[in-house]
Homo-oligomer: A and B are copies of this chain.
Amino acid sequence: MAVPAAARPAAWLRDNCPCTRCRDPRSGQKLFQITDLPADLAIAAATEADDGRLEVLWSDGHRSTYPPGRLVADDGGDRRTEAGKRLWRAADFTSGSPEADWSAYLRDPAEQAAVLRAVQRLGFAVLRGVPVEERQVLAVAESFGHVRRTNYGELFDVRVEPNPNNLAFTAAAIAPHTDNPYRDPVPTVQLLHCLANDAEGGDSALVDGFQAAALLRAEAPDDFAVLTRTLVPFVFRDRHTELRAERPLITTDPLGRIREVRLNNRSIGRLDLPDTELEQFYAAYRRFAEITLRPELQLAFRLAPGDCLVFDNTRLLHARTAFESGGTSHSPEGAGGGRRHLQGCYADLDALNSTLAVLDRRTAALDELAALFEGAGAGEYLGEAVTQAEHMLQAAALAQRDGAPDALVAAALLHDVGHFFDRHSTAAVSGHQLMAGRDNRHSETGADWLARWFPPSVTEPVRLHVAAKRYLCTVEPAYRARLSEASEFTLQVQGGPLTEEQAAAFAELPGAADAVAVRRWDDEAKDPGADVPRFDDYRPLLARLMAER
């Protein structure tokens, strides 16, 4: 059979039937059990339609229609194993570590995506300029996921405590380690926000634990194998807690790929193994620990107040040098002298990866818009002296000039995107077609497309901007008199001025005033000589609005 999809195994093909009886169109979830299918399911007939779609009639009478081409497999997230990572050594960051300014991260989704991608691919990133205030670390965690509460609370203070239940809360040096190995599931992301660090010592270091494990595999494959198969008890006890987990130091997935590293000398318990295996384990454990201490793997740095380190706790090892604790030291402010104080919390990679995927989805939509501005937007605009893209960019600039809120700037920028689409395909239509009256509903088309990505504060002024013109012609005779020839022509196609009754009803609509504002920028945005920002300059604003949907 010539059709690629039909050549795939029947159960697989049927399991991925996209019809609305098989998949809920709202959630995309499957509506049937694998056991609902006949055990002897087979393809009774398969035909390729003219448009390349594959029509399958099944032996149980069900009919499936598949989109043209091969069915694309789901990327199931090997971003959690070494296959989805870039392993590194300290020298890879001589020109700087992945970092961003907190205000830029908040303002620009592209900046946020870059930070989250660094955590996903490299295992860490540093946010600078996070306000030096308690509990801010929680705001950083909530910016991409959910705080994972532990026995240490919603957050924990890393500073010298009078009665520490953990060495982290002393001034002692701490070797490269992962946190909470006695938790299962282990928290997969850790955040450390520096509030004060004028102690002598207390520098930080990170080690790529996947790199260390990969080196162990290359240099001593038998030791690597020992560490992937030996279950190690990790234990933590205090008054209210008795946590135990039994996990290997290196976890691989069923394909043998490194997936998790757990290394923490402080909480390794007493292993229960025959002597030979104990000896093998201790030799391998030692070799692995030695690799993590190699200077070329240790990325050393110093956290300054306002820095927030975000890292993958299933991969990166973190360490600190010993420090002189406050009170004894060079600074005169008593309790503030020689103080080191971090606030930390935990979160999880799944939400981080989800946030990044959604940001990427939005970026793809913006890319699509940008391409429309470049492509169809370069076409003539209803016989005016500007292109469609120039017209829309000017409208946005005028909205900004008038101090309009972001949503209205976006509505002005995007008000005519409906012109870019034919009603029945995504092919662009020309101004000539518009003039011929083929797209008198472009405001609806545009608003509907935008509604997949933008909130009503953007889409509704777009939807109403043609009605706003008809409204203004009714209530402001001078407005109509100013219309360009082309606009007067399309007014007729669009239904002419509203009746008095219709105008009164329009004025009552929730988005009416916003639509009228967009309309006025629309009418003004026809200056062939205007110097305006480019589409890309609006990306942060558009991406922020997308997050409000």
* Contact, CB under 8 Å: B15 / A282: yes
* Contact, CB under 8 Å: B275 / A9: yes
* Contact, CB under 8 Å: B74 / A272: yes
* Contact, CB under 8 Å: B183 / A73: no
Interface 0/1 of A184-227, CB less than 8 Å to B: 11101000000000000000000000000000000000000000
A232 → chain B, closest Cβ, in Å? 7
With beta carbons under 8 angstroms apart, the residue of B184, B228, B279 that contacts A254 is B228
* Contact, CB under 8 Å: A11 / B269: no
| 8 A Cβ contacts from A1-58 to B | 7-9, 11-12, 15-16, 24, 26-35, 37, 39
A138 → chain B, closest Cβ, in Å? 12
A46 → chain B, closest Cβ, in Å? 16
* Contact, CB under 8 Å: A293 / B163: no
Q: Determine whether A409 belongs to the interface, using a CB cutoff of 8 Å to chain B.
A: no
Interface 0/1 of A276-303, CB less than 8 Å to B: 0011001101100110010000000000
Q: Determine whether A143 belongs to the interface, using a CB cutoff of 8 Å to chain B.
A: no
Q: Which residues of B contact A242 (CB under 8 A)?
A: 354, 357-358, 361
CA distance A163 to B27 in the complex (A): 9
With beta carbons under 8 angstroms apart, the residue of B24, B28, B237, B350 that contacts A184 is B350
A34-B265, A230-B254 in contact; A77/B246 too (CB < 8 A)? Answer: yes
Q: Which residues of B contact A39 (CB under 8 A)?
A: 286
Measured CB to CB, the nearest residue on chain B to A245 is: B77
Q: Determine whether A534 belongs to the interface, using a CB cutoff of 8 Å to chain B.
A: no
CA distance A143 to B188 in the complex (A): 24
Q: Determine whether A104 belongs to the interface, using a CB cutoff of 8 Å to chain B.
A: no
* Contact, CB under 8 Å: B184 / A349: yes
* Contact, CB under 8 Å: B245 / A229: no
A27-B238, A268-B15 in contact; A34/B275 too (CB < 8 A)? Answer: no
A459 → chain B, closest Cβ, in Å? 14
Q: Determine whether A164 belongs to the interface, using a CB cutoff of 8 Å to chain B.
A: yes
Q: How many copies of the chain does the oligomer comprise?
A: 2
Interface hit among A146-154, A374-382, A428-436:
A146-154
A11-B282, A16-B270, A228-B254 in contact; A146/B146 too (CB < 8 A)? Answer: no
Q: Which residues of B contact A234 (CB under 8 A)?
A: 76
Q: Determine whether A241 belongs to the interface, using a CB cutoff of 8 Å to chain B.
A: yes
A382 → chain B, closest Cβ, in Å? 34
CA distance A246 to B354 in the complex (A): 14
A30-B267, A164-B26, A243-B354 in contact; A11/B286 too (CB < 8 A)? Answer: yes
CA distance A278 to B354 in the complex (A): 27
Q: Determine whether A179 belongs to the interface, using a CB cutoff of 8 Å to chain B.
A: no
Q: Determine whether A351 belongs to the interface, using a CB cutoff of 8 Å to chain B.
A: yes
Q: Which residues of B contact A35 (CB under 8 A)?
A: 175, 286, 289-290, 293
What range describes how many residues of A lie at the interface? 35 or more
Q: Determine whether A107 belongs to the interface, using a CB cutoff of 8 Å to chain B.
A: no
Q: Determine whether A235 belongs to the interface, using a CB cutoff of 8 Å to chain B.
A: yes
* Contact, CB under 8 Å: A233 / B76: yes
Q: Determine whether A549 belongs to the interface, using a CB cutoff of 8 Å to chain B.
A: yes
Q: Which residues of B contact A230 (CB under 8 A)?
A: 254
Q: Determine whether A166 belongs to the interface, using a CB cutoff of 8 Å to chain B.
A: yes
* Contact, CB under 8 Å: B282 / A24: no
CA distance A278 to B150 in the complex (A): 40
Q: Determine whether A424 belongs to the interface, using a CB cutoff of 8 Å to chain B.
A: no
* Contact, CB under 8 Å: A149 / B150: no
* Contact, CB under 8 Å: B282 / A30: no
Q: Determine whether A306 belongs to the interface, using a CB cutoff of 8 Å to chain B.
A: no
Q: Determine whether A248 belongs to the interface, using a CB cutoff of 8 Å to chain B.
A: yes
With beta carbons under 8 angstroms apart, the residue of B33, B147, B229, B255 that contacts A175 is B33
In the complex, 10 of the A-B residue pairs with CB atoms within 8 angstroms, ordered by the A residue number, are A9-B282, A27-B166, A27-B167, A29-B167, A31-B266, A37-B286, A74-B233, A76-B235, A185-B185, A245-B350
Q: Which residues of A contact B (CB under 8 A)?
A: 7-9, 11-12, 15-16, 24, 26-35, 37, 39, 71-78, 80, 146-151, 163-167, 172, 175, 182-186, 188, 228-235, 237-246, 248, 253-255, 265-272, 275, 278-279, 282-283, 285-286, 289-290, 293, 348-351, 353-354, 357-358, 361, 549
A-B CB proximity, top 10 nearest: A76-B233, A74-B269, A73-B272, A76-B246, A185-B185, A11-B282, A242-B357, A77-B244, A29-B266, A146-B149
With A7-B275, A26-B164, A248-B254 already in contact, 18 other A-B pairs whose C-beta atoms are closer than 8 Å: A11-B279, A12-B271, A26-B163, A26-B165, A30-B265, A31-B167, A34-B285, A39-B286, A74-B233, A74-B235, A74-B270, A75-B233, A75-B244, A76-B231, A80-B245, A151-B351, A229-B254, A243-B354
